[in-house]
Amino acid sequence: MAKLSPLQVVKRDHGTKDALVDKLVDRAERYDDESGDEFRTRLRRVSNKKLLRLNAATDRLAAEFSGKDALIDAIAALKFPGKGNPDYRSSLVAHRVTRLLDLHDSLKKKA
């Protein structure tokens, strides 16, 4: 069987791109000064592949960690075992969830 395109995956799993966007508007991070309608409009312009990756990241964040703070704590614990580092932790707050998940995976492989 041939590999499905991102559009086919979106249609199979979510029905339409708008349904996936509506799901992500409530769960994904947005800019501080951005309203929900602006965020929805911006997400509609994003490719299906990126929307699927963002959906997978939000699903993984909810399943493995209770939120972004728990993910940051896990990264800090992997980077500085036993002692922690508040400066490093505060620097991670500015990063997006997808980047934090990638960082967590790379640190977990090294450990």
Please report the pLDDT score of residue 61 as a whole number.
94
Range of the domain at 84: 68-110
Evaluate if residue 49 carries a pLDDT over 80.
Answer: yes
Evaluate if residue 90 carries a pLDDT over 70.
Answer: yes
Residue 23 in contact with residue 55, Cβ under 8 Å?
yes
User: How far from the centroid of its chain's Cα atoms is residue 31's Cα?
Assistant: 14
Same domain, 14 and 60: yes
Of 47, 64, 81, the one marking the end of a domain is 64
More confident residue, 102 or 1: 102
Q: CB within 8 A of 7, min separation 6: which ones?
A: 48
Same domain, 44 and 72: no
Q: How many separate domains does the chain show?
A: 2
Confidence of residue 36 (pLDDT cuts 50, 70, 90): confident
Residue 1 forms part of a structural domain: no
Please report the pLDDT score of residue 29 as a whole number.
85
Q: Report the percentage of the chain scoring pLDDT > 90.
A: 69
Same domain, 60 and 86: no
Of 29, 49, 64, the one marking the end of a domain is 64
More confident residue, 46 or 32: 46
Q: Quick one: how many helices (H) and strands (E) in the chain?
A: 7, 0
Q: CB within 8 A of 24, min separation 6: which ones?
A: 43, 51, 54, 55, 58
Confidence of residue 82 (pLDDT cuts 50, 70, 90): confident
Which of 56-60, 80-84, 87-91: highest mean pLDDT?
56-60
Q: At what angle do helices 97-110 and 48-64 cross, to 10 degrees?
A: 60
Same domain, 21 and 54: yes
CA distance 41 to 51: 13
